[in-house]
């Protein structure tokens, strides 16, 4: 990666400061303002030397080392926009991205990192999230990030080194964790999963916290031991690229014909459908959702008990529970 000129670096610093103010105004890190310093210090543009923007003619590639100053300026400003950035495509399919910074901030706050914590990140992406964690903890060796694709882990290492960070970057199946780096106090996934991998729990210390995207939501689990964990979803929606290597055995499309327009339009209802897929059909899910007062994500949770993993509404021992497969 080549060095950027002083004009580009100056523009990046100003854009980064503006992004921090924008996230600040949203109150994303009100509970843990220490993250403000991390976002102010870590240069996101070093992690996205190029990215893709969807347009009417497909994806436009923005490149930071273009000879055209106007192109470089668009690249810098886009790098610090509070939006997700597509960073890797294959045959039109999104393989990797840099998540929306304000969402990253909320997830890192929800992870409740403490001094000295050992953290595993599943889904290395560009390396930006690992850099934020390393800055927050003040020690690169406390952070491990894993991804299945060698090209992704190699570029993440380069980006991290350019930003002055050297956490442990591993190429492997994130669902299996990284046992040689265990035990972990925190695990955060930046890719969507279908269930909670038991390997993660086995690599956690008792009391560890796991934050993972699941069914378009963010699940926060507290680990009791290698066989048991429980927690609830955060209230906000979250959409991530699926974990690479996961087998999809169920259809992605769901027919909502015949349901009231309100059900088709309400995103919290779609979350219930995603969470209970294979267990409830759309009509059953809608009847439950309406009967229980149209619950949002915060009323749902997940329990892991040995071989059994199930989602539930309001109470893990209550009448509404569905196996996660």
Catalytically active residues, by annotation: 96
Distances from the Cα of 192 to the Cαs of 19, 29, 34, 66, 225, in angstroms?
26, 23, 27, 33, 23
CA distances from 71 to 50, 67, 76, 82 (A): 11, 8, 9, 19
Please state, in angstroms and as integers, the Cα–Cα distance from residue 21 to each residue in 18, 41, 84, 116, 257, following that order. Answer: 5, 13, 18, 28, 44
Per DSSP (E only), the strands in 75-203 are 85-90, 93-98, 119-122, 143-147, 168-171, 184-189
Sheet of 85-90, strands arranged across: 58-63, 50-55, 85-90, 93-98
Which residues are CB-contacts of 136 (< 8 A; sequence separation ≥ 6)?
34, 35, 38, 108, 113
Residue 191: its H or E element? none
- Residue of 277, 271, 270 lying closest to 323 (CA atoms): 277
238: tokens are: 């979250």
Radius of gyration of the chain (CA): 20
**Residue position matching structure tokens 């040689």:** 180
Phi-psi group of 92: left, alpha or beta (phi > 0 → left; psi -120 to 50 → alpha; rest → beta)? left
DSSP 3: P
- Name, in order, each residue with C-beta under 8 angstroms of 24's C-beta and a sequence gap of 6 or more: 36
In a 3-state reduction of DSSP, which class is residue 38? helix
């Amino acid at each position: 990666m080549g060095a950027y000129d002083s004009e580009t670096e100056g523009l990046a610093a100003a854009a980064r400061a503006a992004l921090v103010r924008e996230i600040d105004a949203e109150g994303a890190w009100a509970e843990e303002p220490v993250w403000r310093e991390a976002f102010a210090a870590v240069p996101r543009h070093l992690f996205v030397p190029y990215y893709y923007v969807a347009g009417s003619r497909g994806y436009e590639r923005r490149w930071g080392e273009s000879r055209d100053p106007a192109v470089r300026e668009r690249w810098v400003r886009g790098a610090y926009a509070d939006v997700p950035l597509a960073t890797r495509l294959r045959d039109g399919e999104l393989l990797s991205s840099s998540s929306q910074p304000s969402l990253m901030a909320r997830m890192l706050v929800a992870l409740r990192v403490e001094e000295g914590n050992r953290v595993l990140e599943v889904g290395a992406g560009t390396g930006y999230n690992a850099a934020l964690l390393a800055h927050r903890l003040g020690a690169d060796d406390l952070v491990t990030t894993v991804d299945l694709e060698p090209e992704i882990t190699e570029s993440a290492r380069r980006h991290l080194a350019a930003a002055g960070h050297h956490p442990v970057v591993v190429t492997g199946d994130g669902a299996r964790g990284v046992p040689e780096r265990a035990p972990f106090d925190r695990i955060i996934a930046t890719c969507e999963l279908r269930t909670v991998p038991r390997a993660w729990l086995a690599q956690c210390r008792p009391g560890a916290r796991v934050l993972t995207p699941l069914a378009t939501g963010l699940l926060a689990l507290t680990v009791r031991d290698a066989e048991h964990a429980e927690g609830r979803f955060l209230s906000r929606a979250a959409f991530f690229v699926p974990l690479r290597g996961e087998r999809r055995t169920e259809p992605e499309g769901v027919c909502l014909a015949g349901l009231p327009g309100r059900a088709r339009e309400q995103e919290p209802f779609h979350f219930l459908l995603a969470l209970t897929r294979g267990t409830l059909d759309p009509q059953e899910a809608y009847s439950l959702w309406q009967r229980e007062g149209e619950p949002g994500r915060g009323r749902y949770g997940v329990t892991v008990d040995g071989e059994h993993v199930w989602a539930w509404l309001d109470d893990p021992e209550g009448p509404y529970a569905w196996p996660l497969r």
